[in-house]
């Protein structure tokens, strides 16, 4: 099984993801062909730069003679600040770069990319349906299209929830839309070129401080980033910059199947994607390591987790559901309750929480604050998990992610993502069981050819 491991010690953005994949071997020509197919008048500039002594690849998007900014934020409405008003970690900063031309990058290629009819009117932006139309109509392979659309869906859902608005009323700002579309489509194409079976990711450094955008000054991580990173291990190294952007978070949320330390695999190649600024005390790069799993016979990944337990016999049963939801939202891997008989014949509940070791104290504090327990037991256990990956399938009502578990390259289990099915059932008025059955049918049809 071919694995890619992302190390986000300096966060992640769309251009860093592209740079890392190009550095690891994706031909720039493959990305330039994808950009041309979009017909947005854009081109790529690919170059080598130095970040704290590490040679990395930097990918920038140009429209005409103008280099696009981060282009990360979906915006509502029709009147926004210019892109240069954004104070963004991965924003261009020429003084911070030591540049070396990358051979065969075709930096000046503009052939076939001009398509004025695809440009949104000034000040209007593009809705998600317009972006879907652009991507669906481009000459790209179906898997790349599906992945790009899935990334935009994740990004749009987060922004819609933050702004309490329907997803189709969310618009990309006119200046930043091209950069976001190019970053996401190229990310989908590049990941397909590499033939990765499973994406694994380290905990993500989100940065700190504030970021200025069209909605004003927002805390880092930005609200949309925080929304997309529910259930993802994150931290801040104390750097007062936005290290993880909305596009970077959407890519991670869509392609990554699990988070943790470096998995057991035979390293084939590594690549470094550069952010635009130098950071104090660390290289501003995203590293990707690619290789084949070494566990050819078992293909089971061992890991250590923490187990938290509390006995409860005097708590209102109505509170259990709330507590379990809060624990899951705060990073628990699993939460479950087991009926037990306690002292003096009282019926009770054994509440068990499975979590990463780094989250144990945070979740223990939630147990103390939200339940009536006077003590929480903690232990560390070793577990083995099947290699898992996400596969998108297209049902008559929309895209559904399938969770697929493998052993020795053989599919052992598969199941549709509940939240995807629930959302479609609610939006389309279709029974939930029908959506789930159809997703399984489509997956099996694809699997069996």
CATH of 388-447, one of 3.10.20.300, 3.30.70.120, 3.40.50.1820, 3.40.50.970: 3.10.20.300
* pLDDT of res. 440: 95
435 token code pair: 């959506």
Residue with structure tokens 């256990």? 381
Identify the pLDDT of residue 62: 87
In a 10 Å sphere around its CB, with 0-12 CB exposed, 13-18 middle and 19+ buried, how is residue 209 labelled? middle
Phi, psi of 101 (to 5 degrees): -60, 140
Q: How many CB atoms lie within 10 A of CB 180?
A: 28
Helix (H, G, I), strand (E, B) or coil at 277: coil
Where does 153-237 show beta strands of DSSP type E? 170-172, 198-201, 204-205, 210-213, 216-219, 234-235
Distance CA 339, CA 13 (A): 46
In whole angstroms, what is the distance from residue 98 CA to residue 276 CA? Answer: 11
Q: Domain 301-375 falls in which CATH fold? A: Alpha-Beta Plaits (3.30.70)
| pLDDT score at 80 | 32
CB 48 within 8 A of CB 60: no
Asked if the domains at 301-375 and 388-447 fall in one CATH topology, the answer is: no
Residue 353 sits at the vertex; the CA angle it makes with 348 and 356, to the nearest 5 degrees, is: 165
Whether the Cβ atoms of residue 220 and residue 47 lie closer than 8 Å to each other: no
Domain map (residue ranges) of the chain: 2-293, 301-375, 388-447
10-residue averages of pLDDT along the chain (449 residues): 93 95 94 92 93 94 70 33 35 38 33 35 63 89 89 87 78 60 92 89 93 79 90 90 92 91 90 92 95 62 83 92 93 94 91 90 95 93 81 92 82 91 94 95 87
Tally the C-alpha atoms within 13 A of residue 24's C-alpha that lie toward its C-beta.
Answer: 30
pLDDT in the model for residue 101: 38
Contact 267, 51 (CB under 8 A): no
Percent of the chain that is helix, strand, coil (3-state, to 5):
35, 35, 35
Query: What single string gives the DSSP state of each residue in 333-390?
Result: SEEEEEEEE-GGG-EEEEEEEEE-GGGHHHHHHHHHHHS--S--EEEEEEEEEEEEEE
Please tell me the pTM assigned to this model.
Answer: 0.58
């Amino acid at each position: 099984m071919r694995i890619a491991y992302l190390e986000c010690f300096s966060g992640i953005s769309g251009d860093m993801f592209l740079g890392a994949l190009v550095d690891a071997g994706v031909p720039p020509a493959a990305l330039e062909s994808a950009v041309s197919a979009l017909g947005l008048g854009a081109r790529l500039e690919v170059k080598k730069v130095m970040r704290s002594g590490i040679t990395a690849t930097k990918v920038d998007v140009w429209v005409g003679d103008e280099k696009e900014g981060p282009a990360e934020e979906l915006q509502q409405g029709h009147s926004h600040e210019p892109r240069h008003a954004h104070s963004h970690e991965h924003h261009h900063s020429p003084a911070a770069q030591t540049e070396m031309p990358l051979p065969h990058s075709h930096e000046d290629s503009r052939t076939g990319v001009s398509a004025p009819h695809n440009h949104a009117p000034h000040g209007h932006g593009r809705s998600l349906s317009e972006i879907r139309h652009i991507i669906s109509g481009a000459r790209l392979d179906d898997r790349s299209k599906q992945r790009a659309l899935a990334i935009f869906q994740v990004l749009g859902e987060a922004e819609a929830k933050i702004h309490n608005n329907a997803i189709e009323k969310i618009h990309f700002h006119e200046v930043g839309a091209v950069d976001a579309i190019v970053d996401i489509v190229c990310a989908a194409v590049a990941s397909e070129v590499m033939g990765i079976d499973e994406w694994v990711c380290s905990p993500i450094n989100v940065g700190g401080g504030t970021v200025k955008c069209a909605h004003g000054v927002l805390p880092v991580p930005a609200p949309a980033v925080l929304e997309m990173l529910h259930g993802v291990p994150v931290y801040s190294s104390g750097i007062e910059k936005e290290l993880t952007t909305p596009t970077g978070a959407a890519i991670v949320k869509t392609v990554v199947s699990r988070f943790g330390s470096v998995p057991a695999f035979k390293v084939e190649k590594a690549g470094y994607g550069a952010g635009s600024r130098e950071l104090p005390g660390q290289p501003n790069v995203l590293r990707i390591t690619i290789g084949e799993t070494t566990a050819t016979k078992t293909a089971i990944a061992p890991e250590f987790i923490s187990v938290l337990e509390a006995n409860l016999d005097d708590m209102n049963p109505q509170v259990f559901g709330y507590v379990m939801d809060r624990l899951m939202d705060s990073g628990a891997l699993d939460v479950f309750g087991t009926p037990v008989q306690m002292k003096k014949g009282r019926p009770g509940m054994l509440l068990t929480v499975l979590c990463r070791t780094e989250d144990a104290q945070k979740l223990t504090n939630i147990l103390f604050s939200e339940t009536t327990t006077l003590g929480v037991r903690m232990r560390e256990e070793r577990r083995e998990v099947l290699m898992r990956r996400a596969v998108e399938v297209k049902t008559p009502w929309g895209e559904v992610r399938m969770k697929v578990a493998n052993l020795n390259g053989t599919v052992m289990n598969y199941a549709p993502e509940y939240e995807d099915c629930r959302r479609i059932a609610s939006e389309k008025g279709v029974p939930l069981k029908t959506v789930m059955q159809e997703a399984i049918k489509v997956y099996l049809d694809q699997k069996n050819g």
